[in-house]
Amino acid sequence: MASKNGISRRDEDEVCPVCKSSRYLNPNMRFLINPECYHKMCESCVDRIFSSGPSSCPVAGCRKTLRKNRFRAQTFEDIGVEREVDIRRRVMHILNRREEEFDSKRAYDDFLEQREEMIANLVCRTDVARTEAQLQRYATENMQSIRANQAIEEEEASSFQARMTLEQEEARLRRQLAREQIENERREIQAGREDMLSRLASGSSADAAAIAREGHKVLLKKSSARRSEEDRIRQKQAALRGSELKRSGLSASADMASSSGLIKGLRKIKTPEPEKPYDPFMGYVPEKRDYYTLQQSYPSVYLDRVKNDTRVAAGGYDLREYYARTMVEAFAGLGCFVEDEVAQRSVA
Amino acid sequence: MIEDDIYRTSSQFRLWSYTRPALASLRTKTNDIASERVRAALQRARPAQQSTTPSAAGTPQPGSDGETKKPEEKQIECLTPEEELILVRYYCEKTLELGETYKPPLPTMVRATAIQYLHRFYLTNSPMTYHPKSIMACALFLATKTDNYYMSLRQFADGIPGETSTDDVISPEFLLMQGLRFTFDVRHPFRGLEGGVMELQAIAQGQAPPAPHIPNQTAQNLLQKLKSIAPPPIPSSSINDRIARAHGTTRETLKTAAQMTDAYFLYTPSQIWLSAFLLADKPLAEFYLDTKLGGPLTETIPDGDAMETDLKNPLYELRTKLFKVLTECSALLGAYTTLSSDPDQMKGLKRIAKKLYHCQNPEKINLKRDSGQPAVAGAADSGQVTSESESERLAKKRKLELEQKARSGASDMFGPELVAERTKQ
């Protein structure tokens, strides 16, 4: 990289590596770079070579195809830093998960580490193809969540901006108000004093003390009125700030559910299941039986005597209870195969 | 099947159902542990005996002591698991007879419950440790209580032939309950049999509704089929007569064979009564099962048809499995003969009883001491049964002690002083 000789470049003898014209000859010369290969060249060279469409880099040994619209001024003096910042910006743009999307702090930290690793891979040119492929796949798979997060970020940035300007505006207003107040106060005191002097001048000497007291009282009253006015203004400002906060809070709660193979530990966003109708027996149907259909009465010589006995019926005994129990016991466990089920039980 | 799930919740299924190998290994294990204990106990008992014999003989001889010991050790021959099983079965039969001696005789259900208690108890306990004779009466008395057939203890003890005090009956009760794991519910097949017979009679009168899984049944074609089944082994005048006869035979089987064998451990009550029914009147029982599970037996129809019915009948798998289990169970029940009816077996039994006399665990013979007042018995130096007044005195003393403890605890809210303990150390 060009880090070794990048420091003393803004000199007069800075030379375009393509056309070899120096700043000495052309003091307005600007150098441009292209993020494809980061080779530096002067503005006139870019115009000359790339005006008629994409062309290959004129630097010897570099066969990258460059386009004119991608050329831009250099931000950092060091080309390496410039490149890293570009890569970082691009990767961060894609892998823009937010902390609140993760299950735990640990998962978020893992994600950050993974991102740094990818950036480092790209910067150091190790495993570039694989990393790029990963990025690409992630970008296509999580288009929506990336967009949503970008929107959130923008919103945050703009709201931050707005808040900053609002605060500045408030501070300015406060200062102005304070200035005006001081001015007003001064003027009032002046006026009061003048008024008092004039009254003293016109009145008798006996009234002097009374006039002086009255003037003092008026001054006090005015200052207390002013104070209440200040309070009112402060309250209004506080209310304004509160509404601002509420608005920003609403926009931040938009979250997106997405599954991706690349990032682990993302919080699962569950959609609540629709509530089922209430079933008091948990799926059990009280009267349902599988082996038999219960009848209202069964023919039995032995039971007929009981059935027709008023002494039994008077006690509240219902023969159907006997039928139900007897039939359940006749078939309870018919399909339970002890040999199999108990063997399974001992295994488990 | 809902009925099956109902049965699966029972303690009989959860705790007292075993596979054949599990049952066998459990019995062997119990026997091994018991033999070990018996040998150890007899070993412990011998020095005490010997200390009395030399004093009578006058001169103790160390050399002869060793010689006498050796053959004696060989002599301790414990019962095998099979012998134990025969012994327990004999006492089960005795229980049945004992129930008969009461006036009026104890209900079948009570006797059956007592027999099952004995079976369950001797799964984890050996007759060498606790003699079945003492447990038997207690099991029967416990069964009268769990089966809601009230009898006072005195009345019960008076009914037992021979000299039996109320204490003899009641003393092993807690021990027995422990052996039963405190599960007193025994599911019997008797009531199930009544249900089956009830339904068969309904079919015979043409009043039967179709089974839930076979909706195309009608009362009429059920009656037709019932009339057309193969004739019973013993010819009977009418269908009702046939059903009644099968009912009686099945009931008799359930009373004896089902009780004395391991059927309760290996099968469920409904399987037991159906296999007993199968034993009594095979065509009738098969007909009845077919009304429940649908489809004729596979061996009676050609292969092609069988395949088709397989596809149609959702219960086919259950049916084949069930028939296998039922035949197994009926074979088990059919092979049973009472011990007392076979002179050979009686001879064997006498031998076992003689053997048991020698290998009875001497430390467990006095059950009253074990179960009556365990804490007091431990405190009392004599080891004899404490008399009424003695136990009363001890109870009073214990009560006083408890009161004192409570009082001291109440006075100090945070327990005794810690400093005292520390100075002790």
Q: What is the CATH number of the domain that holds B26?
A: 1.10.472.10
Where in B151-304 does DSSP place strands (E)? none
B289 and B345 inside one domain: no
Tell me how far apart the alpha carbons of residues B49 and B45 are, in angstroms, rounded to a whole number.
7
- Contact list, B199 vs chain A (CB under 8 Å): 292, 298, 327, 330
Interface test with A, best of B194, B273, B318 (most A CBs within 10 A): B194
- Contact list, B23 vs chain A (CB under 8 Å): none
Q: What number is the average pLDDT over the span A140-163? A: 90
pLDDT at A225 over 90: no
Q: Which residues contact A96 (CB under 8 A, 6 or more apart)?
A: A146, A149, A150, A153
B158 in any annotated domain: yes
The residue in chain A having the minimum alpha-carbon distance to the alpha carbon of residue B19 is A339
The per-residue pLDDT for range B314-340, each reduced to its tens digit, is 677 888 889 999 999 999 999 988 887
Tell me how far apart the alpha carbons of residues A343 and A332 are, in angstroms, rounded to a whole number.
20
The per-residue pLDDT for range A284-312, each reduced to its tens digit, is 777 778 888 888 888 887 888 888 888 88
B240 in any annotated domain: yes
B6 in any annotated domain: no
> Which domain covers residue B304, as residue numbers?
190-336
Least confident of A175-189, A245-259, B225-239: A245-259
A128 in any annotated domain: no
pLDDT at A252 over 50: no
pLDDT at A254 over 80: no
> Which domain covers residue A150, as residue numbers?
145-247
3-state secondary structure of B130: coil
Q: How far is A294 from chain B (nearest CA, A)?
A: 8
ipTM above 0.90, yes or no: no
Q: Which helix (H) or strand (E) holds A66?
A: strand A65-66
B138 and B212 inside one domain: no
> How many folded domains does chain A comprise?
3
Least confident of A11-25, A121-135, B201-215, B366-380: B366-380
The per-residue pLDDT for range B117-152, each reduced to its tens digit, is 999 999 999 999 999 988 999 999 999 999 999 999
B255 and B222 inside one domain: yes
B415 in any annotated domain: no
B273 and B197 inside one domain: yes
B332 and B208 inside one domain: yes
CA A73 to chain centroid: 32
B162 and B218 inside one domain: no
B324 and B351 inside one domain: no
Q: What number is the average pLDDT over the span A134-163? A: 90
Tell me how far apart the alpha carbons of residues B288 and B246 are, in angstroms, rounded to a whole number.
12
A238 and A296 inside one domain: no
B344 and B329 inside one domain: no
> How many folded domains does chain B comprise?
2
A23 in any annotated domain: yes
Of the candidates A247, A267, A298, which is a domain's last residue? A247
- Contact list, B201 vs chain A (CB under 8 Å): 298-300
B179 and B195 inside one domain: no
pLDDT at A97 over 70: yes
B299 and B355 inside one domain: no
B171 and B214 inside one domain: no
Indicate left, alpha or beta for A106 from its phi (over 0: left) and psi (-120 to 50: alpha).
alpha
Q: How far is B207 from chain A (nearest CA, A)?
A: 8
**Which residues on chain A place their C-beta less than 8 Å from a C-beta of chain B?**
284-285, 288-293, 295, 298-300, 303, 323, 325-339, 341-343, 346
B422 in any annotated domain: no
B126 and B178 inside one domain: yes
The verdict on a CB contact (< 8 Å) between B201 and A299 is yes
B410 in any annotated domain: no
Which of A50, A37, A40, A38 is CA-nearest to residue A15? A40
Residue with the larger pLDDT of the pair B284 and A268: B284
- List, in sequence order, every residue forming a beta bridge with A346; answer none if it has no partner: none
A243 and A302 inside one domain: no
> What is the model's pLDDT at position B195?
92
Pair B288, B200: CB distance under 8 Å: yes
The verdict on a CB contact (< 8 Å) between A329 and B211 is no
Q: What number is the average pLDDT over the span B279-306? A: 69
- Contact list, A306 vs chain B (CB under 8 Å): none
Residue with the larger pLDDT of the pair A8 and A128: A128
Q: How far is B286 from chain A (nearest CA, A)?
A: 14
pLDDT at B166 over 70: yes
The verdict on a CB contact (< 8 Å) between B268 and A325 is no
